[in-house]
Amino acid sequence: MKKIWFALVGLVLAFSASAAQFTDGQQYVSLQKPVAGEPQVLEFFSFFCPHCYQFERVYHVGDAVKKNLPADTKVTKYHVDFLGGDFGPVVTHAWAVAMALGVEDKVTAPLFDGIQKTQTITDPDSLKSAFINAAGISAQEYDAAWNSFAVKALVAQQQKAAADVDLRGVPAMFVNGKYMINNGGLDTSSMDNFVAEYANVVKFLVSQK
């Protein structure tokens, strides 16, 4: 019985030590004005952002976060308008199409590569071509989704969410509408440490309902 008790105490102490590693103002920041109704985990990004490219295509931060969370956790990604000039809002609209059609995972890498790596996506036409090729849909399906009420609502939803949290830059991740991950406060001694800590901080904050 004593062994079981000491084991339980050890587990409690281990959790406390782990939780104590994460401090408001260090690894995360509490929002001054919490936002009700946001997804549990909400990531803002831009296909024009070099750091977002690194997060997604090199370090796979989003994948690490998802793998570390309970299966029923809702993780949502929104695109922002404030990078890419006049083309930024067009790409935000295309991302709304991806969300509506459920093809985000299919188009993410090709759009990142086309905009930042090969620079073959430079206007609405090349964006459309890359999108339909990656998603495996027809031009008619793309156009129908583009002009749909659902997609227009998703565009507005992305813009409103960015305004609600007073978003200042990307990549940025928010949890429970209350907390923002502080990228600059994480362990940068190695990229593996950074990614692991990032995922663990998100998991910890998800548990803080």
- Residue 68 falls inside a structural domain: yes
pLDDT confidence band for 60 (50 / 70 / 90):
very high
102-128 burial code (b ≥16 CB/10 A, e <16):
ebeebbbebbbbbbbeeeebeeeeebb
Per residue in 10-47, pLDDT tens?
443 344 435 458 999 999 999 999 998 888 999 999 99
- pLDDT reported for residue 40: 93
In a domain, 167, yes or no: yes
For the chain, percent of residues with pLDDT exceeding 70 = 90
The pTM assigned to this predicted structure is: 0.88
In a domain, 23, yes or no: no
| pLDDT for the residue 105 | 96
In degrees, rounded to 5, the angle at the alpha carbon of residue 52 between the alpha carbons of residues 208 and 179 is: 20
Q: Is residue 12 part of a domain?
A: no
Measure Cα distances from 137 to 107, 134, 145, 156 in Å.
11, 8, 11, 24
Query: What is the total count of domains within the chain?
Result: 1
Q: Does some domain include residue 173?
A: yes
What CATH number does residue 169 fall under? 3.40.30.10
Q: Are 202 and 115 in contact (CB under 8 A)?
A: no
Bridge partners (DSSP) listed for residue 174: 42, 180
Nearest to 44 by CA among 19, 60, 62: 62
Q: What's residue 198's pLDDT? A: 97
For residue 112, which of 70, 54, 194 has the smallest C-alpha distance?
A: 54
Residue 188 lies in a domain: yes
pLDDT at residue 106 greater than cutoff 70: yes
Q: Is residue 51 part of a domain?
A: yes
Residue 113 belongs to what domain range?
29-207
Residue with tokens 């996506």: 121
